[in-house]
Amino acid sequence: MTARLLVVEDEPAIRDAVVVALEQERFRVDAVETAAHALERTRADSPDLVVLDVMLPDGSGIDVCRQLRAESDVPIIMLTARSTELDRVLGLEVGADDYVVKPFSLAELVSRVRALLRRRDLDRLGTHTLVSAGDLRIDLVRHEASIDGRRVPLTPAEMRLLTKLAADPERAFTRDELMEALWDADVPGSSRACDTHVLNLRRKLDGSGVAIETVRGYGYRLRA
């Protein structure tokens, strides 16, 4: 399922640019302009991540962050024109997960959003050491994968890629999302590299009842 993001920013030019940049990465993005609407929308819709400006027309983003953190563990990235260390520390102390100072690079913001969402996914796995989908079992401690009891020999990269797909079966992942599971960063030529890894995995999964399907124009998903 595509991550749902809430952008809270009262400056139209910044808000629109951030929304467009995130939507281009295939996130579902909603946007509001005030502290009151930020609290209302977050409580109603439970977004996967909030991008929150510090200076809002009806209050402080710091106070919004404090209230949200008392109610939810939603990841929060603060946006602010302030650059002092004290302001950055205050934002983090009230529960923000990251802090971006204006003016900022949209590419940097997108990268930080992705990093926080990856961290959230890892946290949700918690202490679980087994990922399963149908007859597929992946032991994260032993770094072993098996299908119906038969071990499937995988390289470390293939293991990480298959684990990403199996952790949320039936969900379609973009090539960029899958490559980030390997390198935690944007990699030039990642589409071709992703296709190569998927091709190798398909060969090893052939006839097992576990398949990696192509989602045309988007990426891949696991069927088990």
Which pLDDT score, from 0 to 100, does residue 106 have? 94
48/123 Cα distance (integer angstroms): 13
Residue pLDDT, tens place only, 106-124: 999 998 898 888 777 766 6
Which pLDDT score, from 0 to 100, does residue 186 have? 45
| Mean pLDDT for all residues in the chain | 86
Which pLDDT score, from 0 to 100, does residue 11 have? 95
Which pLDDT score, from 0 to 100, does residue 176 have? 80
Which pLDDT score, from 0 to 100, does residue 61 have? 92
Q: Residue 224 contacts by C-beta under 8 Å, 6 or more apart in sequence?
A: 133, 134, 135, 136, 166, 169, 209, 210, 211
CATH 3.40.50.2300 in the chain: give the residue spans.
4-124
Say what the pTM is. Answer: 0.61
Domain topology for 130-223: Arc Repressor Mutant, subunit A (1.10.10)
| CA dihedral of 134, 203, 151, 166, whole degrees rounded to 10 | -30
CATH superfamily, with its number, for domain 4-124: Response regulator (3.40.50.2300)
Residue pLDDT, tens place only, 11-25: 999 999 999 999 998
Which pLDDT score, from 0 to 100, does residue 141 have? 75
Low-confidence residues of the chain: pLDDT under 50: 184-189
CATH 1.10.10.10 in the chain: give the residue spans.
130-223
70/61 Cα distance (integer angstroms): 14
Contact 76, 50 (CB under 8 A): yes
